[in-house]
Structure 1
Amino acid sequence: MINTVAWFEIATDDPQGAEKFYGELFGWSFAADEESAKGGMDYRLISYPGADGPRGGVYGTGGKFPGHGVFSVVVADTAATCARAEGLGGEVVFKLLDNPNGPDFAYIRDASGNLFGVFTPPNAAGA
């Protein structure tokens, strides 16, 4: 559903360490995201006991992006949401639009400096 929290992400330059930590702590399992891998991104889908499918991911940053743990909100239009966030005093930290290997997404800092994500699933713009 649009404008709801739909995903969480853990970004780290040590994805194997994150898998070990969260796997042992919570019983989560991990699988490579093949679509992201096609685009050269190390992204691992997180599944947890009782879930009907992955609801999160570990992003292997390779040291090119700060580590973080964030929630992400599904939106109808990532670019428009970024523009609205900036108009409200937020800051777009990173955005990827017209992503051929997955959803359009962005990381935004709210007016208080908190990082969160937004994304538009493929073929869902305007939904």
Structure 2
Amino acid sequence: MTAPAFNTVAWFQIASDQPDRAKEFYGSLFGWNFVPDPNGAGRYDLITYPGSEIPAGGVGHTDDESENHAIFFVLVPDVAATVAAAEAAGGKVEIPATTSPNGLVFAQLVDVSGNSFGVFTPAPR
């Protein structure tokens, strides 16, 4: 399987204060599979589709219902440049460019209609 192209939706996240119920719901509805993320400290599960072992999304464990959300992430070649371009186009930054311990870089933005979305560059291999 090839890597997704830049500027395409390449990841999604569902966050829930009841992650087991969310996994049961989506698993029974779409046949999705869930495994704990080895880097998630017990607070994140990876989602795979039937017939694929490559994760396509994740379930984040939130502390209360007010933090529940669903969001998509676009693969970009440069997170900082994309954040700057989004701001220039009228968007806002919710979470600035952040580098995870494994080197993945991500940011969370708000479009001109108030919709949240994320951008990311994967960790170096």
Alignment TM-score, normalising by the size of structure 2: 0.85
Q: Conserved in 1, the CA contact under 8 Å of 2:16 and 2:65?
A: no
Identity level (%): 50
Aligned residue-pair number: 121
Aligned to 2:77: 76
Q: Distance in 2 between matches of 1:123 and 1:50?
A: 26
Aligned to 2:112: 111
Q: Conserved in 2, the CA contact under 8 Å of 1:8 and 1:70?
A: yes
From the superposition, tell whether residues 10 and 77 of structure 1 become closer, same or farther in structure 2 (CA, over 3 Å): same
Aligned to 1:19: 23
From the superposition, tell whether residues 5 and 11 of structure 1 become closer, same or farther in structure 2 (CA, over 3 Å): same
Gaps of 5+ in 1: none
1:71-103: CA deviations, max 9, x gaps?
Answer: 110111212211211111111111352321351
Q: Conserved in 2, the CA contact under 8 Å of 1:36 and 1:101?
A: no
Aligned to 2:50: 49
Q: Conserved in 1, the CA contact under 8 Å of 2:46 and 2:58?
A: yes
Aligned to 1:62: 63
Q: Distance in 1 between matches of 2:10 and 2:39?
A: 19
Alignment TM-score, normalising by the size of structure 1: 0.83
1:17-39: CA deviations, max 9, x gaps?
Answer: 111111111111100111232xx
Q: Distance in 2 between matches of 1:12 and 1:70?
A: 12
Structure 2 residue aligned with 1:30, among 31, 34, 38? 34
Dislocated runs of 4+, deviation >4 Å: none
Gaps of 5+ in 2: none
Quote the offset at 1:63 in angstroms: 3.2
